[in-house]
Amino acid sequence: MQWRFALKYLTSRKSHSVINIIATVSLFAVVVPVAAMVILLSVFNGFESLVHDLYKVVDADIEITYPQGISTTDAALRQSVESVEGVEAYSFVLERQALLSYRDNRVAVRLRGADENYSRVVPIKEYTSVGNYEVQLGDFDRIMVGEGVAYELGMYSIAAGNIDVYSLGGGQIGSLMPNFAMRHEELEVCGTFVIDQQHAASFALTSLRAASRIFGTEDRADLVLVKVAEGLSHLRVADNMRATLGAEYTVTLREEKNEGFYAIMRYEKWAIFFVSLLVLIIASLSIIGTVIMLIIEKQEERPTLYSMGADNTFIRGIFVREGVLISGIGGVIGLVLGVAVTLAQQHFGFVKMPNGNFLVEDYPVELQTMDLVIIFIVFVAVAFAISLTATSTMISREKR
């Protein structure tokens, strides 16, 4: 019944046109911040998904380590990994610091040597910019470098020649001739890749066989990278892997490895949400004026309601719902507008990134249903609280 009266009062003709103007302004004051909340949260979701995708190229779904290193010839370990349900592929990886040299240029990189299954575990081929990912061709070993590394080395073509790869081999470093303790390998560049600025300027890939020679670790690996089959829970597979391998092995999910970075992104997202919420609350204060004007407008009709058995609580409820209706209509319009803008950006990419240093040209956006539910609940709660405050204050003042 109260909702019917509230809707009737909202749509009925007002004796003062200024009330319609104030109501319209109040409605659109809610539209803008709600639409902004949807768009901003979607942008943060888009960047978070982009970062997740980028980390997939460097970090596998699951990473297995062992304190003393992992033997690549350990048949029991291979059998244990393969026996875990949900393991689609796995790769042995050796990763250390190395120095790349080309002519007079040198760059320190994180050199990763991987076996032939590496491209099945991480989608490195999708991020190859020049050449191809073929770091092992029969008995021939090659190297693949990030675009930033190639630029620092002054290699403007992968056909420019071979590069020298140096690494400390674990021997004693002499004070006169320290180079004797460094292992050296000359490798042909097979291609370049681009992931993000950090990895493009400090990361390189080669075969596990070449890395073993460079680092002096025959038949040894630092990591086992595991890809989980599509549609299966990474957490469940990781738990099964821990149970199968035992406590001496460390099994880490990609999300756990980069938890600090993901947490910062989540904090930034919800910080923006609360800033937008503050704007919404300030904008919604205009509803107070609208509700007060409506109370004054309908003051003459209240004796009729009293004669029908209504009390102050019932009348207060009518005007509270009046404010909720105004805010609700504005909020729904804002949600629809925000979703429309987000979907348009997602499918057509109207807004471009400010320069060409990113992997994507368009601002990444991603709608999440939970965000829309939270925004809807929040603006309804704000509208109810403000309407209740305005109505209670006005009616209490009239009692005096």
- pLDDT score at 2: 57
Count the neighbouring beta carbons within 10 Å of the beta carbon of residue 260: 7
- Whether residue 86 has pLDDT greater than 60: yes
Burial track 73-82 (b if 16+ CB lie within 10 A, e otherwise): ebeebeebbe
- Judged by phi (left if over 0) then psi (alpha if -120 to 50, else beta), residue 154 lies in left
- Whether residue 10 has pLDDT greater than 90: no
**What are 70's two structure tokens?**
């992992």
DSSP state of 181: G
Please give the model's pTM, rounded to 2 decimal places.
0.70
State the average pLDDT over residues 76-101.
94
Q: Which among 242, 257, 272 is the end of a domain?
A: 257
**What are 86's two structure tokens?**
């949900």
Q: Residue 108 pairs with which residues in a beta bridge?
A: 99
Greatest mean pLDDT range, 10-14, 193-197, 241-245, 347-351:
241-245
**Could you tell me if 48 and 151 lie in one domain?**
no
- pLDDT score at 170: 45
- pLDDT score at 175: 46
Q: Which residues, at least 6 apart from 116, have a Cβ–Cβ distance to it below 8 Å?
A: 136
Q: Do 261 and 55 form a contact (C-beta atoms < 8 A)?
A: no
Torsion of CA 198, 202, 205, 209, to 10 degrees: -140
Per-residue pLDDT tens digits for 310-319? 666 666 667 6
Mean pLDDT of the chain: 82
Q: Which residues, at least 6 apart from 343, have a Cβ–Cβ distance to it below 8 Å?
A: 367
φ, ψ (nearest 5 deg) of residue 134 = -135, 75
- pLDDT score at 20: 64
Q: Which among 228, 257, 286 is the end of a domain?
A: 257
Q: Do 22 and 286 form a contact (C-beta atoms < 8 A)?
A: yes
Residue 29: band (very low, low, confident or very high) from pLDDT cuts 50, 70, 90: confident
Residue 350: band (very low, low, confident or very high) from pLDDT cuts 50, 70, 90: confident
Q: Do 1 and 316 form a contact (C-beta atoms < 8 A)?
A: no
Estimate to the nearest angstrom the gap between the alpha carbon of 282 and the chain centroid.
29
**Could you tell me if 66 and 192 lie in one domain?**
yes
Per-residue pLDDT tens digits for 105-149? 999 999 999 999 999 999 888 888 888 889 998 889 999 999 889
Per-residue pLDDT tens digits for 159-198? 777 899 998 654 444 444 455 457 889 999 999 988 877 7
Domain that holds residue 103: 60-257
**Could you tell me if 304 and 203 lie in one domain?**
no
Closest to 15 (Cα-Cα) out of 286, 305, 293, 292: 293
**Could you tell me if 135 and 46 lie in one domain?**
no
**Could you tell me if 310 and 343 lie in one domain?**
yes
Domain count, the chain: 2
Q: Which residues, at least 6 apart from 4, have a Cβ–Cβ distance to it below 8 Å?
A: none
Q: How many Å apart are CA 16 and CA 297, to the nearest integer? A: 8
Residue 295: band (very low, low, confident or very high) from pLDDT cuts 50, 70, 90: low
Count the neighbouring beta carbons within 10 Å of the beta carbon of residue 69: 14
Q: Which among 257, 285, 314 is the end of a domain?
A: 257
In 79-209, where do the E strands start and end? 87-102, 105-114, 128-131, 136-137, 140-146, 162-168, 182-193, 203-207
**Could you tell me if 209 and 356 lie in one domain?**
no
State the average pLDDT over residues 205-213.
94
Torsion of CA 215, 217, 220, 224, to 10 degrees: -10
Specify the higher pLDDT residue, 157 or 49: 49
**Could you tell me if 79 and 43 lie in one domain?**
no
**Could you tell me if 79 and 94 lie in one domain?**
yes
* Pure H helices in the chain: 2-11, 17-58, 75-83, 118-121, 147-153, 197-200, 208-215, 234-245, 254-257, 259-284, 286-297, 302-307, 312-348, 369-399
**Could you tell me if 328 and 242 lie in one domain?**
no
**Could you tell me if 241 and 276 lie in one domain?**
no
Token pair 């768009």: residue: 39
Residue 329: band (very low, low, confident or very high) from pLDDT cuts 50, 70, 90: confident
**Could you tell me if 317 and 280 lie in one domain?**
yes
Sign of the four-CA dihedral 149, 150, 151, 154: positive
**Could you tell me if 85 and 194 lie in one domain?**
yes
Per-residue pLDDT tens digits for 255-281? 888 777 778 888 888 898 888 888 888
